[in-house]
Chain A
Amino acid sequence: MTRTWLSIGLICSLAVISVLSGVWVNSRCGKMMNELEDILTLAEEDRTDEAVRAARQLEEEWEDFRRPASVIVNNSKLGELDRGYAGIEYALEAEHHELAQLITELIHMTQLLRDGETPGLYTVL
C-alpha cells in the first residue's frame, strides 16, 4: 500500500508542478508579448529612446525567464527566441527597416511557446 500512496503522491505533485509551470510560462510570455507590442508602438511613433529603454528592459526580462524555462522547454525553441530578443535593441538603434517584421515574428514565436505549455485540444493531440 506504501507504493500506491507514494504513486498517488507523485502523480499529484507532477500535476501541481505542471499546472504551476504552465501558469508561469503563460503569464511571463503574455507580459513579454504586451511589452513587444508597446516597443513596436513606440518605434512607429518615432520615440526611439523610450523604445530602446523598453527593449533593454525586455531583454533582461527575457534572460530572467529563459534560464528557469530551459528546465521545462526544449532548448532549441528558446535559442531561436533568444536570438530575436537580443536583436531588438540593435535593430532600434540602427533604425532597421525590418524592425516591425522582427517584432511581429517574435510576438508570434512567443505566443507559440506559450501555447505549447498550455494544454488544449490541439496542443494535447
Chain B
Amino acid sequence: MSIILIRSVILYLLVVFAVRLMGKRQLGELQPSELVITILVSNIATLPLEDPDIPVIVGVTPILSLVCCEVIVSQLILRSQRLRRLISGSPKVMISNGCINIDIMRELRFSVDDLMTALRAKDVFSPEDVQYAVVETNGSVSVLLKSDSGGSDPPPMIISDGVVQEKAAQDCGLTAKGIERILKNNGIRSPESVLFLAADSSGNGFMADKKSGRMVRLEGKK
C-alpha cells in the first residue's frame, strides 16, 4: 500500500513536470501530436501504479522520452515549414466569399451537421452571415462574419517567417515582382527579413518585419 502511495506521488510529480515541460501551448487547444502525447502519457503513468511488479522506471522512461521528443519536434517545427505542415497539417478554408467549399468539407470528413455545430459554437446561427471560415490545425473553426457593406475575405498569408508562400501568392494573383514592390514600398529589401505578410492582389493587407515585429498596414492601389 505504502509503495503504491509513494509511486503515485512520484508519478504525479513526473506528469506535472512533463506538462510543464511541454509548455503553456499544451494547456490550451491541442495540436495532433500533442493530443497523441497527452493520451499516451496518461495511459503509461497508470501502468506502474496498477502493477507493483512493474518498476517505476518503466513508466518514467517512456513519459520523459515522449515529452522530450515532443518538445524537440515542436522546436524543429518552428524552423521548418515543411515539417510543420507534415506534423500539424495546414488550416483549411471551409467558407470563402460566403461560399462553402464542398471539396474541403469532403477532405476533412466534415458533415453539414459538423459545420453547423462549429458555427453555432461561434454564436453564428445563420450560415449566410459567414464571409470566411477556416478549420484550424487544432480542429477549431475560426469565423469571419460579413460586414454591412458586404465585406471581403481576409488577405492570404503571402510570406510566413521569411518564406514566400508560392501557392497563396499565385491564388491571389501576386507575382514575384508584385511582392518585391510591396516590400520595396515599405523599405524592406528581401522576403527573408519579413516575419509575415498578408496581402490581396491589389496590395492591401498588413505585414510585420522580423527585426521590430511592428505591424504595418499596407495600402495598395485603389
Residues of A at the B interface (CB closer than 8 Å) are 1, 3-4, 6-8, 10-11, 14, 18, 70-76
B56: chain A residues at CB < 8 Å are 71
Contacts A10-B65, A11-B64 known; 6 new A-B pairs at CB < 8 A: A6-B71, A7-B67, A7-B68, A10-B68, A71-B56, A74-B54
B108 at the interface (CB under 8 A from A): no
A3, closest chain B residue (CB): B71
Question: Provided the pairs A10-B64, A11-B65, A14-B65 are in contact, do residues A4 and B71 lie with their beta carbons within 8 angstroms?
Answer: yes
Cα distance A1–B78 in the bound complex, in angstroms: 11
B58, closest chain A residue (CB): A74
B178 at the interface (CB under 8 A from A): no
How many A-B residue contacts, CB cutoff 8 Å? 46
A6, closest chain B residue (CB): B21
30 A-B pairs within 8 Å (CB atoms) are namely A1-B75, A3-B23, A3-B71, A4-B71, A4-B72, A4-B75, A6-B71, A7-B21, A7-B69, A7-B72, A8-B68, A8-B72, A10-B64, A10-B68, A11-B64, A11-B65, A11-B68, A11-B72, A14-B61, A14-B64, A14-B65, A71-B55, A71-B56, A72-B57, A73-B55, A74-B54, A74-B55, A74-B58, A75-B53, A75-B54
Q: Which of B52, B55, B57, B71 contacts A7 (CB 8 A)?
A: B71
Question: How many residues of chain B get a CB closer than 8 Å to chain A's CBs?
Answer: 18
A7: chain B residues at CB < 8 Å are 21, 67-69, 71-72
Interface residues of B in 45-87 (CB under 8 A from A): 52-58, 61, 64-65, 67-69, 71-72, 75
Cα distance A8–B72 in the bound complex, in angstroms: 7
